[in-house]
Every structure is written in structure tokens, then in C-alpha cells.
């Protein structure tokens, strides 16, 4: 909200600099985003044009005489709207103005324009920094004081308030004034609301009833007769304009102005258009419609509260008026309404009709019922002042059974101490409450009964009052202490520890972490995995865009997309991982969120370097990372060849511990590569599912194993096995053999000297005994046994 200081000063004295005021408001919870200074001009005055003559040498220019009351000067002016009698902004020689030619601020110099000397300048908005308009000069109001410094007349400071939703009161100038008064030790000057009443009392002229008091806690009205509709006086128009509202006519402008003063929205009806002089505040009937002031015809329902006359709705209560009772130039008698409508109903109506107005902005937050008659009287007085007419004696004031009692909230010194961790002296508490406009009485020792002022709707419980006190005396006054309560026992979440550990291992393995949006398109998911047609991914009800519509069920698509978007920058290596959640729908419950890690490896195996080869990352790089990660975690995993839509046929394994699936590893399917425009000969990838890995972690701590005391014996073993025998199977058998401690596969060969349908696998085999040095004979005997087993189980023979 933009708050001109000049306006604020009409309600409260401000004798501290604007910056200091902004600081105090900000600290107390009314954040001032910006302090904008309008003006700051020197040598610029309110002038009056006394004569306009043609320029002797230029058709478009004119010679004007401008007076400041004490001096007369002749200036050249090219503005089309210059005219005799006009009040203008006149800059004398030396004034610092925006020069539209040089586009800089410069002192104004005497200039000869087409042979005539100009002794100053009549300014446009652009030259004064009051806007972008350079098409004509500024026309000041007729009552502008000739000779006054323009700075005194037009200059101002505007505070831009960034209000939090609870401080409805500060949406009004008086609300801010109360706040400023409390923070600077001043008193608020309430606006006057005096008017004379005459003629027949209002209750004899109109019949008003409230049929649905649950939606209208209070309804007040006054009647002003014999008004003359016309434009508002300049001051009123200026105030509305500065607040961003458009002046319409004197009566309507007053209702808006008083809303800006007090927050209470008001509405004016053309009294003569109200059928049977009857107003019923009721829920709309199912088939009713109303053409509102914005020209739209709106279908109504029983959820909408209307102001109706004897027959039809004439207004949508607290939202917008009806065209059928609108104030027009011909309006003579005005019925003025100030009511307290139900906040949430008002909000729902406004939302369903997409009609958020200045009124609903206020009603939806719940205005206090005490406000209605105060604002009504103020507006009635102002209407009489600017539009004339007589005011019918009395007002209509209908109050629901809910009543209009102000909230009374207790406040104990004990509570203050318990919440803040410090004592605030009773006297200081009382003075603070006084300054904020709260009234109070002592209930018992250390307890006050505090009544909340009518402009505040945000104070309802004791804690609110504690905040009122502490924000006013300042948060700086509260001491700084460390928690002294006992430190609770913290049970760590194992899955978080596991995830962090794997992330660290992956980063150490040279893999870069990425973090992606979890919202994707269905196509992105379908490109990399088989979707479960019976349980499609969760969809947003209000997606921001079509490319962020579904909650991902896999991380693959995202990390592969990262590869695609980065592959243009280099030849790799591309090593990427993401640790995130996948979302799997469940009936009638929140989705399951699976902690998953996805890794993609592609491009050169090594950073391009003068030292290295040009080999590419492949399946075995991916599997190597999986193995080292699982090994570090102490998980014994197996790898089984598997088929998966996203992976290259024959180049994919499922990672298991016993029966549990821990993840997948493989090369990305060529079709997927093509669909995602991955220009890589091969892309290796793996996924790890953290929940099953957590379950597969060894249940006990690793236990120390004594180091062997005796030397081990090594034998190299080259075996010829049928092609379809996996290395894993051979290794498994070797390791199972008694006396063998360790085995390393160091060569695989097929081709010359090996029968077709066979391959050769070469191993280093380590024999080790815990209690002695093995003799050659023992090792050879063991080896013979191993060879017999391998032959029997796998048809393996020793390579010749």
C-alpha cells in the first residue's frame, strides 16, 4: 500500500524523518519496502500564466507571461495546452530539471529560442520527474497558491507498505496513524463527522431487514436527499488517485475515500431506484441473476448474499453493487450502506465469481462491526459537504444476535514472562496498550482485562497481546539466551544416513550430483519405463504448464535429460547422479515416496587429457560403482541378467540381495537414446532403491577380523568353460572351495586355440590357512580338488 506522508500527517503529527519512521514501522511488523521522495525541486514555483502571444518566428511556439505574484517573466512555451489564467509549475533559471534533450538532470539556463529569450520554463511532468508525459504542461488546480514553492505544494514522501495478511487495519490510513502514534508517542486526530439532520426520519422512509444475520452481523444505512451529483473537488480526486483509485463522482468518491480512511467499505444506492423503499439482506434465490456495476450478468446461488429490494437483488453484499441501483448523474436521493458481512462467505463469493474488489479485500479478513456506523457517519457528513443535500434524521442499525461486543482478552504478567523469558514492568505494559489504543482494567494482581480497539481484528488471544507489547517495545529489548531445557534423545532416520553415505560415495567416485523438478510429462516417463496403466502417475489438479503435470515415478528420465542438455558442452566424461523421491499412487492415501538414486555415465572415461586414452564409459564402469558402493555398505549383492524397457537387451542386470531387488544396472536402450537425442555411442546407467538396501544392510556392526599371520600361496588358473557359463558362477564355485581365501579374474579370452562355443577365464587364486603355512603338497591337493569340482559342475577344463 502506498502511503503519502502528507495524508498521514492529517491524522497524526509526524516529527521524525521519514526514514526513521519507516524503520520503526518495519521493526514493529509493518514493513516499509521503500521510501519514495516526490519532488525535491529547487527554484520551481506555482505560477500563473497572465498572457499568451504568438511567437514571432515560429508557428508552434508561443510567448507567455508568467507571474509568481512578485515577479513577471516572459517564457517561450511549445505546449498545446498553455492558456491564459492557467496555474502552472514554473521553473526559474537555475532550477535543476530533467533535460529531455540531453536526458540528464541539469540546471536551467537562459536560452534564446528562435530569437526570443526565455526566462524560465513551464514544466511538463517529465521535466519534474512526475511521470512520463511530455505532451503538455502540468495544469495545476485553480486554487493552487501562486508563488508557493512547488516542493511545498506538490512535494511528498510516500511509504510503500508491504503488509502481512493479518494487519488489515493498516490497509487504512487511520490504522497506520494509530500505529504511528503508538510508535512515536503521538495522538491520533480523528476525522470530523458532523452533519445536520432534517426532514422525515430515515426509519419512516425505508424498510430494511436482514433475513440472513449469519452472513451479515451488522447493517447500517443513512439517507441523504437532494444531492447534486458531479465531479469531486480536486483534493478528493487527488487522494483517490494517489491510492490508485479512479475518481467517479462525488458521492461514489466519498464512499471510496472513507474506505481508505477507515477500511469500512460503503455502498451508495440511488434511493429512488429501490423498489418499494424496501431492502432485504438475504441469500440469493437459485435462479436469480444480477448485472453488476462492471456490466457482467452474474448467475447467483444461495451461497451468495444479496442486497435486494422488494423484488430483485440490487447488490452483491460486500462485493459489488448492481447496475439497477447505480448512482447516476440524475441521482437525487442517496441511500448509504455500511455493513459487516461474513468474511469467509464474502471470500468464497469473490473467488467463485473471480471478483476481488477493494471491498472484498477488506471484508474477507473480518471487519469489526463497530466500524460500520463510524464510517457511515463520516461518509454521510462528507457527502453533504461535497454534494449538498439534507440528511434524514437517524440511521438504520440492525445488529445480529451475535452482538457487537469488542473482544476482551486477559493478559497476565506471568504469561509475558513465560513467553518472552523476561519481565516487562506493569506500568510499561499498560502504557504500551494505551498507546496502541487498547483499553484495560485490572482484574486481579498481575492480570489485565484488555479491550481490543475497533480497528484491530487480529488480536484475539493472550499471545496476540504479548506480541503487541513486545513488538512495540521492540524485539531488541528481549534478552538472548540458549535453550536450557533438556536435550531430547534423537533417533536418527536410517534412510537419511544411508542416502547421505551413498551420495558421498558417488561424489567420491567422480559423479556429479544434480537435482531435478519432480513434475514431468507422461511422455517423458513413458520414454524410459513401462507405465502401470492401472495406477498412472499422480497428476496435478492445477498444473502450471503441460510440461510439469505428473509426479515422476522414476528418476531416469530426468537424469537422462540432464545428459542431453549438457552433452553439447563437451565430450565428457558425463557422470551424473540424482538422489530423489519417486511417487507411487495408493488408493485413498498419500502416495508412497521411494528414495531412489539414479546414475548416468556416458562419454569419455577420462577427462580429455594429453595422458589418457579415448575409451568410453560403459556398463562395467556403472557396475563397478555399484559394486564399490554396496561393498562399502556391507551389502552382498548378486547380479542377474534382466530385461527392462529402458535398457539395452542383453546389457542389463537386476541387482539383488537374496530375493530383494536393490536396483538395476545396464546400458540405455538404443531406442531410448534416440528418443532423448543422446548423441553418445553408449550410455550406462544404474538405479538404487534405498528402502530395500536399508533392509539388506548387515544387522550387526562389522567385526574386526584378525590379520593372517602365515603367508598365502598363489596359483594361476586358466580354465576353458562353455561360453554360456558366467564368470560369476565360476568365481562363486572357486570361493566356496576349502582353503581359498580370495580369487581375482584377470583375463577373458575366446578365439584362436579355444574351441568355438568355449571361452577361457584366467584367475589368480589365493590359498590361505589361519594356523600354518600351507605346504606345496597341500596347495596342489586343494587345487586338484577344485579342478574336479569345476569340471563336474561347469564342464571346465584346465587350459592346455
Partner 1 sequence: MTEPSTQPPTAQSIDELIGSASAELDTLADLEAVDQWRVSYLGRRGSLTTVLRGLASLDVEERRTIGALANQAKNTLEERLEERVRQINVAALDLSANQGRLDVTLPGRPALGGRLHPTTKIVREICDAFVAMGFGVVEGPEVEWDHYNFEMLNIPKGHPARDMWNTLWVDNQDPSGGSNMLLRTHTSPMQARVMEGREPPIRVVVPGKCYRYEATDATHEWHFYQVEGLAVGEGITFADLKGTLYEFARRMFGEERKIRFRCDYFPFVEPGVDMSIDCFACDGDGEGCRICRDSGWIEIMGAGMIHPKVLEGVGYDTEKYTGFAFGMGPERIAMLKYGIDDIRHFYANDLRFLRQF
Out of 110, 296, 508, 727, the residue judged to bind partner 1 by CB under 8 A: 508
Q: CB-wise, 92 or 499, nearer to partner 1? A: 499
Q: How far is the CB of 614 from partner 1 (least distance, A)?
A: 14
Do strands 62-67 and 72-77 pair parallel, antiparallel, or not at all (unpaired)?
antiparallel
CA distances from 295 to 151, 237, 316, 320 (A): 42, 24, 13, 11
The reply to whether 513 sits near partner 1 by the rule CB under 8 A is yes
Q: Is 660 helix (H, G, I), strand (E, B) or coil?
A: strand
Is 179 in contact with 28 (CB distance < 8 Å)? Answer: yes
Q: How far is the CB of 669 from partner 1 (least distance, A)?
A: 22
Q: How far is the CB of 605 from partner 1 (least distance, A)?
A: 11
Out of 109, 534, 544, 800, the residue judged to bind partner 1 by CB under 8 A: 544
Q: CB-wise, 302 or 422, nearer to partner 1? A: 422
Question: What distance lies between CA 376 and its chain's CA centroid?
Answer: 37
- Within 549-588, which residues bind partner 1 (CB under 8 A)? 551, 562, 565-566, 569, 574-575, 577, 581, 583
Q: How far is the CB of 598 from partner 1 (least distance, A)?
A: 13
- Within 102-161, which residues bind partner 1 (CB under 8 A)? none
Out of 109, 534, 590, 800, the residue judged to bind partner 1 by CB under 8 A: 590
Q: How far is the CB of 576 from partner 1 (least distance, A)?
A: 8
Q: CB-wise, 583 or 686, nearer to partner 1? A: 583
The reply to whether 287 sits near partner 1 by the rule CB under 8 A is no
Q: CB-wise, 34 or 631, nearer to partner 1? A: 34
* Phi, psi (deg, nearest 5) at residue 264: -75, 115
Q: CB-wise, 339 or 416, nearer to partner 1? A: 416
Is 258 in contact with 268 (CB distance < 8 Å)? Answer: no
The count of residues interacting with partner 1 (CB under 8 A) is 91
Q: How far is the CB of 507 from partner 1 (least distance, A)?
A: 4
Q: How far is the CB of 489 from partner 1 (least distance, A)?
A: 9
Q: How far is the CB of 526 from partner 1 (least distance, A)?
A: 18
The reply to whether 278 sits near partner 1 by the rule CB under 8 A is no
Out of 57, 209, 344, 615, the residue judged to bind partner 1 by CB under 8 A: 344
Is 738 in contact with 782 (CB distance < 8 Å)? Answer: yes
Helices (H), 638-722: 670-675, 690-696
- Within 345-364, which residues bind partner 1 (CB under 8 A)? 347-348, 364
Q: CB-wise, 589 or 724, nearer to partner 1? A: 589
Q: How far is the CB of 542 from partner 1 (least distance, A)?
A: 5
Q: CB-wise, 551 or 665, nearer to partner 1? A: 551
What is the spatial distance between Cα 657 and Cα 638, in angstroms, rounded to a whole number?
6
**What is residue 180's DSSP assignment?**
H
CA distances from 274 to 289, 310, 312, 635, 734 (A): 17, 8, 9, 83, 101
What is the spatial distance between Cα 306 and Cα 321, in angstroms, rounded to a whole number?
9
The reply to whether 167 sits near partner 1 by the rule CB under 8 A is yes
- Within 22-61, which residues bind partner 1 (CB under 8 A)? 26-29, 31, 33-34
**What is residue 774's DSSP assignment?**
P
Task: Compute the residue count for the chain.
Answer: 800
Angle of helix 413-420 versus helix 462-473 axis, rounded to 10: 70
Q: Please give the angle made by the CA atoms of 611, 617 and 622, to the nearest 5 degrees.
A: 130
Q: Is 231 helix (H, G, I), strand (E, B) or coil?
A: coil
Prior bond to 208 cis, omega within 30?
A: no
Cβ-proximal residues to 792 (8 Å cutoff; 6+ apart), any chain: none
Out of 109, 541, 707, 800, the residue judged to bind partner 1 by CB under 8 A: 541
- Within 485-504, which residues bind partner 1 (CB under 8 A)? 485-488, 490-493, 496, 500, 503-504
Of 288-296, 332-340, 516-524, 756-764, the segment contacting partner 1 by CB under 8 A is 516-524
**What is residue 406's DSSP assignment?**
P
The reply to whether 425 sits near partner 1 by the rule CB under 8 A is no
Q: How far is the CB of 25 from partner 1 (least distance, A)?
A: 10
The reply to whether 78 sits near partner 1 by the rule CB under 8 A is no
CA distances from 374 to 199, 244, 246, 586 (A): 22, 24, 24, 56
* Phi, psi (deg, nearest 5) at residue 546: -70, -20
Q: CB-wise, 490 or 701, nearer to partner 1? A: 490
Of 217-225, 389-397, 522-530, 608-616, the segment contacting partner 1 by CB under 8 A is 608-616
The reply to whether 419 sits near partner 1 by the rule CB under 8 A is yes
Q: Please give the angle made by the CA atoms of 619, 622 and 625, to the nearest 5 degrees.
A: 150
Out of 174, 240, 367, 420, the residue judged to bind partner 1 by CB under 8 A: 420
What is the spatial distance between Cα 718 and Cα 800, in angstroms, rounded to a whole number?
9
What is the spatial distance between Cα 211 and Cα 480, in angstroms, rounded to a whole number?
55
Q: Which residue has the cell 471478483?
A: 355
Out of 506, 525, 672, 688, the residue judged to bind partner 1 by CB under 8 A: 506
Q: CB-wise, 517 or 710, nearer to partner 1? A: 517
- Within 426-485, which residues bind partner 1 (CB under 8 A)? 461, 463-464, 466-467, 470-471, 475-476, 478-485
* Phi, psi (deg, nearest 5) at residue 718: -105, 120
Q: How far is the CB of 55 from partner 1 (least distance, A)?
A: 43
The reply to whether 593 sits near partner 1 by the rule CB under 8 A is yes
Is 416 in contact with 280 (CB distance < 8 Å)? Answer: no
Is 440 in contact with 493 (CB distance < 8 Å)? Answer: no
The tally of CA atoms less than 13 A away on the side-chain side of residue 617 is: 31
Q: CB-wise, 95 or 560, nearer to partner 1? A: 560
What is the spatial distance between Cα 305 and Cα 283, in angstroms, rounded to a whole number?
4
DSSP 131-192: -S--SSB--B-TTS-TTSBHHHHH-EEEEEEE--TT-GGGGSHHHHHHHHHHHHT--B-PPP
Q: CB-wise, 142 or 593, nearer to partner 1? A: 593
Q: CB-wise, 160 or 385, nearer to partner 1? A: 160
Of 52-60, 242-250, 601-609, 737-745, the segment contacting partner 1 by CB under 8 A is 601-609
Out of 450, 511, 685, 696, the residue judged to bind partner 1 by CB under 8 A: 511
Q: CB-wise, 276 or 547, nearer to partner 1? A: 547
Amino acid at each position: 500500500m502506498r502511503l503519502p506522508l502528507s495524508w498521514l500527517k492529517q491524522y497524526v503529527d509526524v516529527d521524525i524523518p521519514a526514514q526513521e519512521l519507516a524503520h520503526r514501522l518495519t521493526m514493529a511488523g509493518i514493513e516499509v519496502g521503500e521510501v519514495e521522495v516526490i519532488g525535491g525541486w529547487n527554484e520551481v514555483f506555482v505560477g500563473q500564466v497572465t498572457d499568451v502571444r504568438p511567437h514571432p518566428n515560429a508557428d508552434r511556439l508561443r510567448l507567455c507571461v508568467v507571474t509568481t505574484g512578485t515577479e513577471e517573466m516572459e517564457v517561450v512555451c511549445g505546449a498545446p495546452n498553455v492558456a491564459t489564467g492557467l496555474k502552472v509549475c514554473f521553473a526559474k533559471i537555475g532550477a535543476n530539471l530533467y533535460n529531455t534533450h540531453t536526458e540528464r538532470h541539469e540546471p536551467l539556463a537562459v536560452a534564446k529560442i528562435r530569437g526570443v529569450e526565455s526566462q524560465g520554463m513551464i514544466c511538463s511532468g517529465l521535466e519534474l520527474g512526475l511521470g512520463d508525459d511530455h505532451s503538455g504542461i502540468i495544469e495545476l488546480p485553480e486554487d493552487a497558491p501562486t508563488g508557493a514553492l512547488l516542493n511545498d505544494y506538490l512535494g511528498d514522501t510516500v511509504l510503500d507498505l508491504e503488509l502481512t495478511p493479518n494487519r488489515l487495519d493498516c490497509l487504512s490510513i487511520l490504522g497506520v496513524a494509530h500505529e504511528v502514534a503508538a510508535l512515536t508517542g503521538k495522538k491520533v486526530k480523528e476525522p470530523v463527522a458532523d452533519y445536520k439532520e432534517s426532514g422525515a426520519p430515515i426509519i419512516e422512509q425505508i424498510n430494511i431487514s436482514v433475513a440472513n444475520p449469519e452472513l451479515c452481523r451488522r447493517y447500517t444505512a443513512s439517507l441523504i436527499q437532494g444531492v447534486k451529483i458531479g465531479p469531486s473537488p480536486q483534493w478528493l480526486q487527488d487522494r483517490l488517485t494517489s491510492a490508485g483509485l479512479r475518481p467517479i463522482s462525488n458521492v461514489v468518491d466519498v464512499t471510496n475515500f472513507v474506505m481508505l480512511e477507515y477500511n469500512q467499505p460503503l455502498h451508495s444506492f440511488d434511493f429512488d431506484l429501490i423498489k418499494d423503499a424496501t431492502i432485504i439482506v438475504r441469500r440469493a434465490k437459485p435462479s436469480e441473476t444480477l448485472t453488476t456495476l462492471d456490466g457482467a450478468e452474474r448467475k447467483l446461488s444461495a451461497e451468495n448474499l444479496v442486497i435486494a429490494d422488494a423484488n430483485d437483488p440490487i447488490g452483491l453484499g460486500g462485493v459489488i453493487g448492481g447496475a439497477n441501483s447505480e448512482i447516476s448523474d440524475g441521482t437525487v436521493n442517496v441511500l448509504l450502506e455500511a455493513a459487516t458481512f461474513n468474511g469467509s462467505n464474502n471470500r468464497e463469493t469473490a473467488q467463485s465469481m473471480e471478483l476481488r474488489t477493494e471491498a472484498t479485500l477488506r471484508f474477507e479478513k473480518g471487519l469489526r462491526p463497530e466500524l460500520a456506523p463510524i464510517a457511515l457517519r463520516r461518509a454521510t457528513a462528507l457527502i453533504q459537504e461535497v454534494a449538498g443535500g439534507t440528511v434524514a434524521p437517524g440511521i438504520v442499525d440492525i445488529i445480529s444476535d451475535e452482538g457487537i461486543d469488542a473482544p476482551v482478552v486477559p493478559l497476565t504478567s506471568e504469561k509475558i514472562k513465560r513467553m518472552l523469558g523476561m519481565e516487562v514492568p506493569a506500568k510499561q505494559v499498560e502504557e504500551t496498550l494505551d498507546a496502541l489504543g487498547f483499553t484495560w482494567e485490572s482484574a486481579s494482581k498481575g492480570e489485565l482485562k484488555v479491550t481490543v480497539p475497533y480497528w484491530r481484528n487480529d488480536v484475539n488471544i493472550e499471545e496476540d497481546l504479548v506480541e503487541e507489547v513486545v513488538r512495540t517495545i521492540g524485539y531488541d529489548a528481549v534478552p538472548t539466551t540458549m535453550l536450557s531445557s533438556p536435550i531430547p534423545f534423537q533417533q536418527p532416520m536410517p534412510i537419511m544416513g544411508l542416502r547421505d553415505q551413498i551420495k558421498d560415495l558417488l561424489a567420491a567416485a567422480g559423479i556429479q550430483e544434480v537435482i531435478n523438478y519432480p513434475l514431468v510429462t507422461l511422455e517423458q516417463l513413458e520414454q524410459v519405463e513401462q507405465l502401470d496403466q492401472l495406477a498412472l502417475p499422480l497428476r496435478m489438479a492445477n498444473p502450471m504448464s503441460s510440461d510439469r503435470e505428473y509426479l515422476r515415478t522414476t528418476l531416469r528420465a530426468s537424469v537422462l535429460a540432464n545428459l542431453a542438455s549438457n552433452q553439447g558442452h563437451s565430450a565428457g566424461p558425463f557422470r551424473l547422479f540424482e538422489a530423489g523421491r519417486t511417487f507411487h499412487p495408493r488408493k485413498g492415501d498419500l502416495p508412497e515416496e521411494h528414495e531412489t538414486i539414479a546414475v548416468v555415465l556416458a562419454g569419455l572415461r577420462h577427462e580429455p587429457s594429453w595422458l589418457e586414452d579415448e575409451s568410453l564409459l560403459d556398463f562395467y564402469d556403472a557396475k563397478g560403482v555399484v559394486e564399490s558402493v554396496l561393498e562399502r555398505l556391507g551389502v552382498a549383492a548378486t547380479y542377474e541378467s534382466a530385461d527392462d524397457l529402458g535398457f539395452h537387451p542383453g546389457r542389463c542386470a537386476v541387482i539383488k540381495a537374496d530375493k530383494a531387488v536393490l536396483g538395476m544396472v545396464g546400458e540405455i536402450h538404443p531406442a531410448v537414446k534416440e528418443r532423448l537425442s543422446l548423441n553418445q555411442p553408449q550410455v550406462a546407467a544404474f538405479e538404487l532403491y534405498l528402502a530395500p538396501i536399508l533392509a539388506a544392510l548387515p544387522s550387526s556392526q562389522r567385526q574386526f577380523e584378525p590379520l593372517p599371520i602365515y603367508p598365502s600361496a598363489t596359483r594361476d588358473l586358466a580354465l576353458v568353460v562353455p561360453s554360456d557359463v558366467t564368470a560369476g558362477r565360476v568365481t562363486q564355485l572357486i570361493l566356496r572351495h576349502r582353503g581359498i581365501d580370495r580369487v581375482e579374474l584377470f583375463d577373458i579370452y575366446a578365439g584362436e586355440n579355444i574351441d568355438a562355443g568355449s571361452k577361457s577365464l584366467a584367475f589368480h587364486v589365493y590359498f590361505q590357512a589361519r594356523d600354518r603355512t600351507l605346504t606345496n603338497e597341500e596347495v596342489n591337493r586343494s587345487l586338484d580338488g577344485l579342478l574336479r569340482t569345476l569340471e563336474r559342475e561347469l564342464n571346465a577344463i584346465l587350459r592346455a
